[in-house]
Homo-oligomer: A and B are copies of this chain.
């Protein structure tokens, strides 16, 4: 992370600040403090006035309940802060830490200099630190004005659709409004579900960006807020506003989506001490996209794709899976599930008969055979992870499926990590096309994978005699994903959606009854999916809002919410009848 692009000679006029955009591990004081120490020494070598680290840099963001449960961690972080203070000399170091103040634990930042803690600022207070004739207004999280010459804002802001655009504009506006430069230092790297994108930025008093660190990478940049001296790293190809209308092309958000997930995978594995991933390759879109992302994040030598065909699996699916693995250069193996499927099904027959004596209302038709297939596959993957060091299986289900509860418990829902759990099906199609076009190696995902209709290949549709495709079981993905878009981005309800025109309606002619049927199905299936959300495996948040447990929580027992609502008259008639 320490670069060789700077020379001590360049900074002798003073007023230069180092931005140390580090990637911490939550709770790992030794790892984080060593990283901080390295940067402090480098800044000292460069003779900088100050070096600034992100919010809570000693402990890493987010910490959730760690301190509440293990109060000794707060004491431990103070010890490391004191340790860091001791190694400082003339260059001031602004380091985020957890302060114990009046029985409470506070999000604070300390300036370490000349071997001691020279100054402390708390979140929401925005104190001023004077150094070499300049007043630095220190604010944590929120940007706020103060009687300062320069504002230093330390933050931890996860990547979201349109977030960079929004934040950049906010910085520009505030700097112009306050008529002073702002330096915003953001965390980079991923911790569990949050992927922080870095892109620490310096904006001058007129609102012009004069310095920016890399995005999705650790970086060290030197800038001078008074002379607006610094360099600007590009963020990504397109940095644009959040979409306000659903569009299945997602055109300005695919590179960010890709980078957010890659960092999510990479850091989850490295921070958990993992190395390898094994996934089922069905020849379908979800597992294909996962395979590419895992290869890019972990290296092809650390990824294995297993084709586990059943009697329903088409020969095309088998060859697509193999072709993809060969294109990527990952390990590929085949292991049919027929014998486990047959043995399980056979031994279940007498058990079901026995059970039917007690519970006489056995279903005429059940999902049992579909689920045995999905569970047999998951068992194989987990067994591989039991057999080979530092290896976990991958849950390949996507966001559209999660909303619909259209994934099997202990089957494709199961795994050690879920790379695309916050990506809808239409966005996965767009991402697949984007990766085929933009990765150094073009078209690794076979065209037939992108062209065929998604389906789990677990059952035959009695109407067509062919394998049941997902849109037959659910509804068109372009419709389904717009419902998700409207819930997550607009907080719309059933009635509003019924009265708005959907993208899919513009494209295809559908009746109001058809639309109503799909909306009913959506809300009914979503209610039943709450339990599955509660046991979803770790994944990275990609979109503006998600059903990831780290940001959304709804009681499973609330499944009987009436998403349609009742009118005043209906309510009165219910209550008056009592």
Chain B residues within an 8 Å CB radius of A372? 379, 383
Q: Does A65 contact B (CB under 8 A)?
A: yes
Contact: B354 with A333, CB < 8 Å?
yes
The segment out of A145-153, A246-254, A565-573 that lies at the interface is: A565-573
Chain B residues within an 8 Å CB radius of A351? 306, 333, 335, 380, 384
Q: Does A534 contact B (CB under 8 A)?
A: yes
Chain B residues within an 8 Å CB radius of A348? 335, 380, 383
- Of all chain B residues, the one with the shortest Cβ separation from A351 is B335
A306 to B25, CA, bound (A): 44
Contact: A386 with B367, CB < 8 Å?
yes
Contact: B558 with A304, CB < 8 Å?
no
The segment out of A155-163, A265-273, A446-454 that lies at the interface is: A265-273
Q: Does A30 contact B (CB under 8 A)?
A: yes
A residues 350-394 in Cβ contact with B at 8 Å: 350-352, 354-355, 357-359, 361-363, 366-368, 371-372, 375-376, 378-380, 382-384, 386-389, 391
Q: A267-B557, A272-B557, A535-B535 are in contact. Are A347 and B339 (CB under 8 A)?
A: yes
Q: Does A129 contact B (CB under 8 A)?
A: no
A contacts with B, residue count (CB < 8 A)? 120
Q: A562-B30, A563-B70, A572-B83 are in contact. Are A363 and B388 (CB under 8 A)?
A: yes
Q: Does A437 contact B (CB under 8 A)?
A: no
Min C-beta distance of A407 to chain B, whole Å = 13
A65 to B554, CA, bound (A): 6
- Of all chain B residues, the one with the shortest Cβ separation from A81 is B571
Q: Does A119 contact B (CB under 8 A)?
A: no
Q: Does A177 contact B (CB under 8 A)?
A: no
Q: Does A235 contact B (CB under 8 A)?
A: no
Q: A30-B574, A387-B355, A571-B83 are in contact. Are A64 and B410 (CB under 8 A)?
A: no
Binary flags per residue of A75-106, CB closer than 8 Å to B gives 1, else 0: 11001101110110000000000000000000
Q: Does A123 contact B (CB under 8 A)?
A: no
The segment out of A32-40, A165-173, A461-469 that lies at the interface is: A32-40
A154 to B273, CA, bound (A): 48
Contact: A359 with B535, CB < 8 Å?
no
Q: A83-B572, A491-B71 are in contact. Are A30 and B566 (CB under 8 A)?
A: yes
Chain B residues within an 8 Å CB radius of A536? 535
Chain B residues within an 8 Å CB radius of A571? 33, 79-80, 82-83
Contact of A575 among B33, B268, B416 (CB under 8 A): B33
Contact: B565 with A72, CB < 8 Å?
yes
- Of all chain B residues, the one with the shortest Cβ separation from A35 is B578
Chain B residues within an 8 Å CB radius of A574? 30, 33-34, 83
A549 to B538, CA, bound (A): 13
A214 to B380, CA, bound (A): 51
Contact: B562 with A29, CB < 8 Å?
yes
Contact: B359 with A335, CB < 8 Å?
no
Min C-beta distance of A35 to chain B, whole Å = 9
A355 to B560, CA, bound (A): 46
Contact: B409 with A382, CB < 8 Å?
yes
The 3 closest A-B pairs by CB, nearest first: A27-B558, A271-B557, A331-B358
Known: A87-B576, A304-B358, A550-B553. 13 other contacts (CB 8 A): A62-B555, A71-B491, A72-B565, A82-B568, A83-B575, A192-B557, A268-B557, A272-B557, A331-B357, A366-B387, A367-B386, A375-B382, A535-B535
What are 24 A-B contacts defined by CB distance under 8 Å?
A: A27-B554, A30-B566, A33-B575, A34-B574, A60-B558, A62-B555, A64-B555, A65-B552, A69-B552, A70-B487, A70-B563, A72-B493, A83-B571, A86-B576, A335-B351, A343-B343, A351-B384, A355-B387, A361-B389, A362-B388, A368-B386, A368-B387, A371-B382, A416-B531
